[in-house]
Structure 1
Amino acid sequence: MGNLPAERVTPDYPFYTTGTDFAGPFLITDRKGRGCRITKAYLCIFICFRYKCIHLEAVSQLSKDAFTLCLQRFISRRGKPKQIFCDNGRNFVATAKEINEFLKLNTDGIIDFAANKGIEFRFSPAYAPNFGGLWEAGVKAAKYHLNRVLGNAHLTFEELSSLFSQIEAILNSRPLCPLSSSPQDFAPLTPGHFLIGRPLTVLPSPCLLDSNINRLDRFQRLEQIRQHFWKRWSSEYVPELQQRTKWKLRCKDLKPNDLILLKEDFTPPLNWRLGRVERIFPGTDGIPRVADISTARGTVRRAINRICLLPSPDDAES
């Protein structure tokens, strides 16, 4: 495995170096009500090389002009990047033929537009998806559960754009590491801090997970889709913070004041329950398997397998 490129480890502004990819298609309607026409829309993802921030855009069609407008919207809100990395379209799984034809016919036009804006487009080699693992992982995070929660629902372009923005906020709210070493500070560093300087928030809404979709209006249906996405994605993301290897070797022990993430069911969107280790209870063999966790709502006792330790600066030094 090669070393990380300089663009991944050199500090700079968010999205100064960006990877982009397409996903889809998603079926949308041209208007609400009966007699509407079903068309296709696509997801264009931009991911920051340095801070893993994610930006999602809805694209109405696979054309040079549509992608140019998408890129202009991205630049207007996130700033002009210096470099944009992407693959050449041959390793796309969904809609491989359409996307491949789009990039094959419009590569020169896209590069010319980017060059006029002072942006360098860098395409990865053919049949080398490992060169774009960063944005391929972003596509999986956004698309994998989105296809499952959408089901047969056909949204309008405006509703799909709103859903993409809400999913973007969910993905950018994930905790990365402790924000400070204070025992009383339960706040983690998230990709949202690099974008707006503070954690991303969401408006409160009633739980609609178990509601009958036939009794929901379009706005409530969109909120239900967002809550289903949060439930599925967060329950998958939390186990990824734990190494799920055979426990023959002893892993790193918890220490007092370590910032941890609790695995909790039925948490509202963008709500991560964090805490600090207060006390550890070792077993007869001297290995701790239970700990008291100090949270903003009091002290709770949890088993070690319900606790995810966030990375700390000491891990990087070692």
Structure 2
Amino acid sequence: MTHQESLATECSKNGIRWHFNPPRASHFGGLWEAAIKSAQHFIRVIGTHLLSYDDMETLLSQIESCLNSRPLVPISDDPTDFEPLTPGHFLVGSSLKAVPDIDLTTTPFNRLRRWQQTQKLFQLIWKRWHREYLSTLQPRAKWCNSPVQLATNQLVILQDDNLPPMQWSTARIVSLHPGNDGVTRVVTVQTPTGLYKRPVAKICLLPVPSSSNEQTHDNMNNQQNDDST
């Protein structure tokens, strides 16, 4: 009761007002409910495996770091800058990092110590969430239509299933290679290690578009409306 009174006094002093969603309306939450849904992957991976309090606390902290390491939007328009803005920047001022560890996903649990068992669960959760999260960033469309609106110097995420936890492969689009029908299915990307050709199906757009991409998309929509008129 004392804590509730002090919290109410502090909120009233700073002009903070609470607005709650209606009961049984989790879809009102939007982005934060989607993040909670992503965190629930650990329930499916753990299953009936028993964890101590310390192991569970460590695992939940690592899952939190994974979710807060996802790229959101480019930090700058510099073609040589491959670092995106992440939720970790709002928490600690920079992107979250993890120490590389040995891949334990194929090792049986009975051959691992407690710390290694926790790390195996963490790696399994990362592999599952990382793959499903990237699939949500890839819009689906018919092969005869352009599935995504791509532009040069655009920061994208490259799909790579072999990355360790909390590492993302980002790149800048250097050039587009449209086919005879005008649909771009292959692009050349610049990464910190060099130039590579990649199919559009293996490229994921950032969840928050930059202002330049939004302007390009709006101009294309206006042009299509003018043509239809």
Q: CA deviation at 1:125?
A: 2.5
AA at the equivalent of 2:127: K
Does the CA-based 8 Å contact 1:174-1:191 persist in structure 2?
A: yes
**Runs of 4+ with >6 A deviation:** none
Secondary structure of the corresponding residue to residue 99 of structure 2:
coil
Distance (Å, rounded) in 2 between the aligned partners of 1:131 and 1:296:
40
Match of 1:126 in 2: 23
Q: Indicate which of 125, 135, 140 corresponds to 2:37.
A: 140
Q: Deviations over 1:104-133 (max 9, x none)?
A: xxxx88854531443654433334333334
Secondary structure of the corresponding residue to residue 182 of structure 1:
coil
Distance (Å, rounded) in 1 between the aligned partners of 2:27 and 2:112:
42
Structure 1 residues 252 and 232: CA distance shift in structure 2, 3 A? closer
Match of 1:161 in 2: 57
1:276 equivalent in alignment to 2:153: no
Q: CA deviation at 1:240?
A: 1.0
Distance (Å, rounded) in 2 between the aligned partners of 1:132 and 1:112:
27
Distance (Å, rounded) in 1 between the aligned partners of 2:19 and 2:201:
42
The alignment's TM-score, normalised by the length of structure 2, stands at 0.83
1:114 equivalent in alignment to 2:7: yes
Q: CA deviation at 1:255?
A: 2.2
Distance (Å, rounded) in 1 between the aligned partners of 2:150 and 2:28:
35
Structure 1 residues 301 and 249: CA distance shift in structure 2, 3 A? closer
Q: Deviations over 1:242-297 (max 9, x none)?
A: 22244565455422221111011111001100111122222121222111211112
Does the CA-based 8 Å contact 2:145-2:183 persist in structure 1?
A: no
For residues 1-318 of structure 1, what are the structure 2 equivalents within 5 Å?
112=5, 114-118=7-11, 120-143=17-40, 145-246=41-142, 249-310=145-206, 311-317=209-215, 318=218
> How many residues end up aligned between the 2 structures?
210
Q: Deviations over 1:20-41 (max 9, x none)?
A: xxxxxxxxxxxxxxxxxxxxxx
* CA-based RMSD: 2.2
Distance (Å, rounded) in 1 between the aligned partners of 2:201 and 2:45:
28
Does the CA-based 8 Å contact 2:146-2:184 persist in structure 1?
A: no
Distance (Å, rounded) in 2 between the aligned partners of 1:112 and 1:246:
57
AA at the equivalent of 2:61: S
* Larger RCO (alpha carbons 8 Å, 6+ apart): 2
Distance (Å, rounded) in 2 between the aligned partners of 1:129 and 1:256:
38
Structure 1 residues 141 and 120: CA distance shift in structure 2, 3 A? same
Match of 1:95 in 2: none
Does the CA-based 8 Å contact 2:72-2:84 persist in structure 1?
A: yes
Q: CA deviation at 1:315?
A: 3.3
Secondary structure of the corresponding residue to residue 292 of structure 1:
strand
Gaps in structure 2 of 5+ consecutive residues: 219-229
Q: Deviations over 1:174-214 (max 9, x none)?
A: 00111111111111111111111111000121111111111
Structure 1 residues 253 and 133: CA distance shift in structure 2, 3 A? closer
Distance (Å, rounded) in 1 between the aligned partners of 2:3 and 2:27:
23
Match of 1:102 in 2: none
Higher helix residue share: 2
